[in-house]
Amino acid sequence: MYINYDYYRVFYYVAKYGNFTQAAEFLLGNQPNITRTIKNLENELGCTLFIRSNRGVRLTPEGEKLYAHVSIAVEQILMGEEELLQNKSLQSGVVSIGASEVALHCCLLPILKQFHRDYPGIRIRISNHTTPQAITALSRGLVDLAVITTPFEIKDPLKSVELKPFSEIAVCGTSLQHLTGAPVHLFELCQYPLICLSPQTKTYEFYSQFFAKHGLHLSPDVEAATADQLLPMIKNDLGIGFLPEELAAAAMEAGEIFQIHLYEEIPKRAICMLKNTDKPMSIAAKAVEGAIRNPK
């Protein structure tokens, strides 16, 4: 049996208002068309759905049974439409971002602060990832976007856009402050304890290649699990580490850590945003992507 499902929408509003005229006004139709639609539905179902009176209409027992089901369906559709409209106007939505520590602190936080001010209804979920973990999460659809640091390798359907370059410097605590005068060579640093991220990270790979380029082997005495552990370790004189200038600035100004000037130039790195072009993005996620690409 074929039924025009628009009949049920008309049925819902007639039952809701208990009046053909009011239902017609809400649906921007006219009463004869509404009456005809209900007659057609009753004919299709083979039963009477409404009892007519001078005061309007009320449901028959059969009509009440049908309304119990139809009302749920129509209200769910209306809720879905409202949710989409809210998403379209950026009044709601959830966006997941996989971010490395350096990317979060040197780039992402001020952008998200402004975005949250502009669109407080959008919820942002940040996952603290290493660069490889963020790429894996993006590939599996666990996050909408990834904001990470170079170096990394990706392939289609992942796409990358550079957000900002950054420089890193060698720093130490007070016990090694004697190294902070004249520039020193990289091989001289190897005579002192070194702090680095674990071999599973791209940062370790980056510095391993940097040392190898100058005929040296990177052999850290202390391995940090995450980038946010580096600064406290350096402050507490566990060794020499490498930090983005932006992250080291406040501690250097406070006299907690000190820059070691090197003859060898540490190559610049970059913070990049990645997205998975195979996965459709929500309106909210596209808005966050735009805010990250073009910060205010």
pLDDT above 70 coverage of the chain, percent? 95
Topology of domain 94-164+270-293 in CATH is D-Maltodextrin-Binding Protein; domain 2 (3.40.190)
pLDDT above 90 coverage of the chain, percent? 50
Buried b (16+ CB within 10 A) or exposed e, 94-103: ebbbbbbbbb
| pLDDT value of position 89 | 55
pLDDT at 63 over 70: yes
| pLDDT value of position 227 | 84
Topology of domain 168-267 in CATH is D-Maltodextrin-Binding Protein; domain 2 (3.40.190)
Which CATH code for domain 6-88?
A: 1.10.10.10
More confident residue, 221 or 82: 221
Domain with CATH 1.10.10.10 in the chain: 6-88
Q: What is the pLDDT of residues 102-140, one digit of tens each?
A: 999 999 999 999 999 988 888 899 988 888 899 999 999
pLDDT at 42 over 90: no
| Separation of alpha carbons 86 and 46, rounded Å | 40
pLDDT at 259 over 90: yes
Q: What is the pLDDT of residues 143-197, one digit of tens each?
A: 999 999 999 999 989 999 999 999 999 999 999 999 998 999 999 999 999 999 9
What average pLDDT score do residues 263-280 get?
93
At 247, give phi and psi (nearest 5°): -80, -25
| pLDDT value of position 85 | 63
With contact defined as beta carbons under 8 Å apart, do 42 and 5 qualify? Answer: no
What average pLDDT score do residues 43-59 get?
86
Query: Picking from 14-18, 80-84, 154-158, 282-286, which range would have the lowest pLDDT averaged per residue?
Result: 80-84
Tokens describing residue 286: 């596209």
The pTM score is 0.69
| Separation of alpha carbons 252 and 171, rounded Å | 9
Across all residues in the chain, what is the average pLDDT?
A: 89
Domain with CATH 3.40.190.10 in the chain: 94-164+270-293, 168-267
